[in-house]
Amino acid sequence: MVVVDVLRVALESIRRHKLRSVLNLLGIIIAVTTIIAVVAVVQGLNEYAANLIGQLGPNTMIFAKFGIITSREAFLEAAKRKDFTVEDVEAVRRGVVEAKRVGGRVFGTHHVYAEGRRLADIIVLGAQPEIPWMVGIELDDGRLFTETEDAAARNVAVIGWDIKDELFPHVDPIGRTIKVGAVPFRVVGTMAKQGSSFGQSQDRFVMMPLAAYQKAFGKRRSVDIFVEAPDAASRQRVEDAVRQVLRARRHTPLGAGDPFGVVDARALQTLWRTLTGSAFALVILISSISLVVGGVAIANTMFASVVERTREIGIRKALGARGRDLRRQFLLEAVVLSSAGGLTGVLLGWCAALAVGAWSPFPVRVTAPLILAGLTVAALAGAMAGWLPANRASRLDPIVALREE
């Protein structure tokens, strides 16, 4: 029997038993839909996260009291550490002469007022002048604050795009006054629009000199120390030098762990891959269960098909059909059945991924290799499920089969 005839018989079987076929293929459809949708979103998120993390710069490191926290125990341990201060930033600046830039930053949330309008819980950054250059923030209008203004703790500020749009929708904000909490600040610049990441706007912030922030809101927050190496070749030397300075200032014994955390692009990428890898492993587990259920259903369908067509098998064997021909026929029928479920799953998964991309900030990437992988998984599941029924059909005794009513 040629492949075209096998395909025709399989499709006729699906047509005759529509409800049974749909129910039997439901596991395959769910598995492939889940794989396509989730992997498409994960691929898009990986690309998106790489772009966001890349803004930090491959040679920029952040030395912070907490660093990257992945457990409750790590948080409790980090909470016991001593806060970083501006004096620590200056010690790093003096002690690590090879560093290209060194800067300190703190942040908190405050209400912001201007022109009779109020914005609640806005991110307020206190930063030294080097910070904007180290995190890739671009200026849209006006200017950044200067080292002189930071040293003198001048009440000047640069605002994000959303702050400008909501507080000053019809006027130029440069030179106007905003109140952060109860403290007035003069706007000297506005930042270029950055958009959203993971559903959160990156343009709802106010940035001011670190000294001005501490004068207005106190010095209770630990200062994050940003350090940029000149190039990739010197990055490790700079990091080691900063570690040495900070450990010496905290009198850390030799062999003890660092009393701080280090965050850089590589650490963020590793954390992101760990998180998405765990999610992907969960998806694979769920999909595997669905594939097993779908495979068992297809196997049951093929066993029923063998029983229903026992007399036909006997006639074909009596006319000279070989066992391998019958095995091939039933295997191909199982593969066609599962591939139909796989194709349906690919279409549903694609639609689900596009819906996620349209209704959320998460990007999606449905690629040809992903579609091929979904179809291949479905076909392999069908082949494995159809192997035993196909073997049973190929081994039927033609005389016994012809007696079957």
* Mean pLDDT score of the chain: 81
Q: Which of 182, 230, 205 is nearest to 58 (CA)?
A: 230
Backbone angles phi, psi at 286, to 5 degrees: -65, -45
Q: Kindly report, residue by residue over 294-313, the tens digit of the pLDDT.
A: 777 777 777 766 666 666 66
Considering only residues 403 and 76, tell me which one the structure prediction assigns the higher pLDDT: 76
The CA distance from 195 to 192, in Å, is 9
Of the pLDDT bands very low, low, confident and very high (cuts 50, 70, 90), residue 318 is: low
Residue in the block written with tokens 């992945």: 70
Please compute the mean of the pLDDT values over residues 377-393 and round it to a whole number.
Answer: 78
Give percent of the chain above pLDDT 90. Answer: 30
Range of lowest pLDDT (98-112, 311-325, 370-384): 311-325
Q: Which of 18, 41, 17 is nearest to 354 (CA)?
A: 41
Please compute the mean of the pLDDT values over residues 83-89 and round it to a whole number.
Answer: 94
Q: Where are the beta strands (DSSP E) in 259-366?
A: 261-264
pLDDT of amino acid 226: 92
Of the pLDDT bands very low, low, confident and very high (cuts 50, 70, 90), residue 325 is: low
Q: Kindly report, residue by residue over 190-209, the tens digit of the pLDDT.
A: 998 887 665 567 788 999 99
Q: Kindly report, residue by residue over 37-71, the tens digit of the pLDDT.
A: 877 877 776 665 555 555 566 788 889 888 776 66
pLDDT of amino acid 42: 73
Range of lowest pLDDT (155-159, 292-296, 360-364): 360-364
Please compute the mean of the pLDDT values over residues 255-271 and round it to a whole number.
Answer: 78
pLDDT of amino acid 113: 92
Of the pLDDT bands very low, low, confident and very high (cuts 50, 70, 90), residue 174 is: very high
CB 185 within 8 A of CB 163: no
pLDDT of amino acid 345: 87
pLDDT of amino acid 371: 86
Of the pLDDT bands very low, low, confident and very high (cuts 50, 70, 90), residue 395 is: low
The CA distance from 45 to 349, in Å, is 16
Considering only residues 159 and 304, tell me which one the structure prediction assigns the higher pLDDT: 159
Q: Kindly report, residue by residue over 7-28, the tens digit of the pLDDT.
A: 676 666 667 767 767 777 777 8
The CA distance from 37 to 354, in Å, is 8
